[in-house]
Chain A
Amino acid sequence: MTIRHHLSDQLLMAYAAGQLPEAFSLVVAAHLSLCDDCRAQADSFDAVGGAVLEEAGEIAMGEDALARTLARIEWLPRAAAPKPRRAAGIFPAPLVDYVGGDLPAVRWRRVGGGVRQAILPTDRDATARLLYIPAGTAVPDHGHRGLELTLVLQGAFADETDRFSRGDVEIADEALEHTPVALAGQDCICLAATDAPLRFRGLIPRLAQPLFRI
């Protein structure tokens, strides 16, 4: 598998700094599970955080802080061996955590045109959803008010900018208006996160918008 579309440095840094809304952090964690280049880059940004922590200065802990912490670790369960957290299906492990399983566990809802979606539970700063787009089907033409990250998990889609297949992330913002089309051959499944509602050009999807939280 060759991934051609990666996360930006700005997103990786925001993830390392702990500043991404949960929905975006899910897309980032899912991509990092599939992409070793971005994982190494993310580790490097963590190291920047380590350097910042070292230089953050010192504020004295309470008198009994060490004693209290030592008393506490007395009662902590002995650390268990790391549980293998490797996905066997098409969903990377962090996504499995949110869905409660792999593809069969998804509770899809129809949004028209054969497209189905499932909204995942995250904080309200942004929305994460799984999208199921039958092969050859188009997602309605839309623009973005904020940031949209789309990670392909199965199949492939193409839009005005390029072609995206498993592991690829498309980063779309206000500047992009696009019509993603699932390529023929295999139904396309994506994980998408947005921090503002999309702007649809056609009348029908706009009417349906409040209903489906697209």
Chain B
Amino acid sequence: MLRRKKDGLVSSEDETDWAALLLRVRDHQDRAAFAVLFRHFAPRVKAFLMKSGAGASLAEECAQDVMAVLWQKAHLFDPARASVATWVYTIARNRRINALRRARRAEPEELDWGPAPEPDQAEALETRQETERLGRALAALPTPQRTLIERAFYGELSHSEIAAETGLPLGTIKSRIRLALDKLRHRMGEGPKRT
């Protein structure tokens, strides 16, 4: 499906540069860009939350909350560190913990550098490509293993079940995600030194 827009940001469903759209939200409070993000991610967040055990109306309400947070916290988004899908996932996960478990999740300290005002295009592209490779690697897993991963992220497996589950293909995933570590080291070299 081709959905051309005058700014050329949206070319086809698969090639949409979500990060560029989110940066338009961040830098220009661009409501049109937000609407495109909303149409893609809100129904996925709703499906994700319902698979996590939320009823339809709670999932609808929380999906709207998640998209509102996306708008409000757009300034924290760093396309070199995470894809938009990853970032939306973290917001949805935290919303689920609040809504379904009525608990909170402690978050680590911010990194020294924070999001760069002018994100490195090459790094942002690398993050996006690596995320796509990760998606393909997950899709290519044998069904039982893929199902286990999905169930873990839908919140169907407790932490002790995750610890006990030997069928989790963590090795497969890890070989795909070494990049995050390399990238962090690279940026640590550039950023101010930690004390």
| Chain A residues near B (Cβ < 8 Å) | 8-11, 13-22, 24-26, 28-30, 32-33, 36-37, 39-62, 65-66, 68-70, 72-73, 76-77, 79, 81-82, 84-87, 92-94, 97-98, 122-123, 125, 146-147, 195
How big is the B interface, by class?
Answer: 35 or more
Question: In the complex, A8 Cα to B89 Cα: how many Å?
Answer: 22
Question: In the complex, A10 Cα to B130 Cα: how many Å?
Answer: 22
Q: Are B67 and A69 in contact (CB under 8 A)?
A: yes
For B134, the chain A residues whose CB sits under 8 A away are 47-48, 51
Closest chain A CB from B13 CB (angstroms): 12
Q: Which one of B1-9, B118-126, B181-189 contacts A?
A: B181-189
Closest chain B CB from A101 CB (angstroms): 16
For B109, the chain A residues whose CB sits under 8 A away are 32-33, 85-87, 92-94
For B149, the chain A residues whose CB sits under 8 A away are 48, 52
Q: How many A-B residue pairs have CB under 8 A?
A: 241
Assuming the A-B contacts A55-B139, A85-B109, are A13 and B170 also in contact, with contact meaning beta carbons closer than 8 angstroms in the complex? Answer: yes
Question: In the complex, A210 Cα to B60 Cα: how many Å?
Answer: 44
For A98, the chain B residues whose CB sits under 8 A away are 106
| Chain B residues near A (Cβ < 8 Å) | 31, 34-35, 38-39, 42-48, 50-51, 56, 59-60, 63-64, 67-68, 71-76, 81-83, 85-90, 92-94, 96-97, 101-112, 114, 130-131, 134-135, 138-139, 149-150, 152-155, 157-160, 162-163, 168, 170, 173-174, 177, 180-181, 183-185, 188
For B31, the chain A residues whose CB sits under 8 A away are 70
Judged by DSSP, the binding face of A is: helix
For B38, the chain A residues whose CB sits under 8 A away are 65-66, 69
Question: In the complex, A62 Cα to B61 Cα: how many Å?
Answer: 10
For A24, the chain B residues whose CB sits under 8 A away are 159
Question: In the complex, A24 Cα to B38 Cα: how many Å?
Answer: 33
Question: In the complex, A33 Cα to B104 Cα: how many Å?
Answer: 17
> Which residue in B48, B56, B106, B152 is a CB contact (below 8 Å) of A22?
B106
Q: Are A19 and B174 in contact (CB under 8 A)?
A: no
